[in-house]
Amino acid sequence: MSRRYFVQLAYRGTAYRGWQRQSGKVRTVQATIEAALTRVRGNARQPEAEQAPVRVVGCGRTDAGVHASDYYLHFDTEEALRDDWLFIMNKVLPDDIVLYRVWEVDSGAHVRYDATARTYDYHLHTAADPFLAPFSSFIDLPDFDTWAVEMSLRSLTGQHDFRAFCLTPDRHNTTTCDLREATLHTEGEGRYRFRFVADRFLRGMIRILVYQLLRVGKGELPPDELEIALETGQRISVGQAPPQGLFLSKVDGLKGRFDGKQ
């Protein structure tokens, strides 16, 4: 009888071409985890190259270089996991991927479809810092108008068609998203964090939004231009904020299924 397990994890995306498995020898988070799962589950009597691969389903996709501090996947297996499975997996995986906990769920549970909201945080700093650089974007903002940015953010919240802020809008069945929170936070001198919470996000949506919001803050774009883009569906200009500042930081709707099993 097949069993389904949820796994909560985190990863540093710097060395990966995003979450999703790709053809060829492309290093992705999903492919790395699947290789580790296959190895741990493997039959010692059978050559590793002949092992049937274990496939996982993720709660969403992240782009190349993007991090996740709260992520979930599920996978199916015919056997119950051993008590030290989590420890073994973390020994096999590279240091930039860590599994926090694993628990068995019913066969209909799904990490993507059961998620009710996702939170992304985008970190940036305005003074060069070697300790922030891997996880925050260094951006020149000599006269950053936070008031103008906050005005633009207010116009983005709510249920809207975000076609103008999507890299590939025609690949989505719908480009409408319920953006429940869009805020700017000051984290210290010259350090800022954007937070976006929504039921779903489109490809490239947050990095495009941040890019345009920074243009507003630098006085290159009037605050109402983003609202106009929402109404017309027309892209303002081509551009994305760098990936290293972006984190998938929270996924709602999945922790409630945790039943205490480790």
Last residue of a domain, one of 79, 114, 149: 114
95 included as an active-site residue: no
What pLDDT score was predicted for residue 50?
A: 58
Last residue of a domain, one of 78, 96, 114: 114
What pLDDT score was predicted for residue 42?
A: 59
Question: In the beta sheet, which residues pair with residue 5?
Answer: 75, 104
What pLDDT score was predicted for residue 52?
A: 78
What pLDDT score was predicted for residue 46?
A: 46
Last residue of a domain, one of 114, 144, 165: 114
Residues 6 or more apart in contact with residue 35 via CB below 8 angstroms: 53
Same-domain pairing of 20 and 124: no
What pTM was computed for the model? 0.92
User: Tens-digit pLDDT profile for the chain (262 aa)?
Assistant: 789 999 999 999 999 999 999 988 899 999 999 999 999 985 444 455 556 789 999 999 999 999 999 999 999 999 899 999 999 999 999 999 999 999 999 999 999 999 999 999 999 999 999 999 999 999 999 899 999 999 999 999 999 999 999 999 999 999 999 999 999 999 989 999 999 999 999 999 999 999 999 999 999 999 999 999 999 999 998 899 999 999 999 999 996 555 444 3
Instruction: Tell me whether residue 260 is in a domain.
Output: no
What pLDDT score was predicted for residue 81?
A: 94
Q: Is 256 helix (H, G, I), strand (E, B) or coil?
A: helix
What pLDDT score was predicted for residue 261?
A: 44
What pLDDT score was predicted for residue 238?
A: 82
Token pair 């999507």 is at which residue?
166
What pLDDT score was predicted for residue 48?
A: 54
* Domains of the chain: total: 2
Q: What is the CATH number of the domain that holds 199?
A: 3.30.70.660
Strands 137-138 vs 191-198: parallel, antiparallel or unpaired? unpaired
Instruction: Locate the DSSP E strands across 115-241.
Output: 117-125, 137-138, 158-161, 176-188, 191-198
Instruction: Tell me whether residue 259 is in a domain.
Output: no
Q: What is the CATH number of the domain that holds 102?
A: 3.30.70.580
Same-domain pairing of 89 and 47: yes
What pLDDT score was predicted for residue 53?
A: 86
The residue annotated as part of the active site, out of 63, 70, 114, 121, is 63
What pLDDT score was predicted for residue 49?
A: 54
Q: What is the distance between the alpha carbons of residues 207 and 192, in angstroms, rounded to a whole number?
A: 15
Residues 6 or more apart in contact with residue 45 via CB below 8 angstroms: none
Are the CB atoms for 179 and 136 separated by under 8 Å? no
Same-domain pairing of 245 and 121: yes
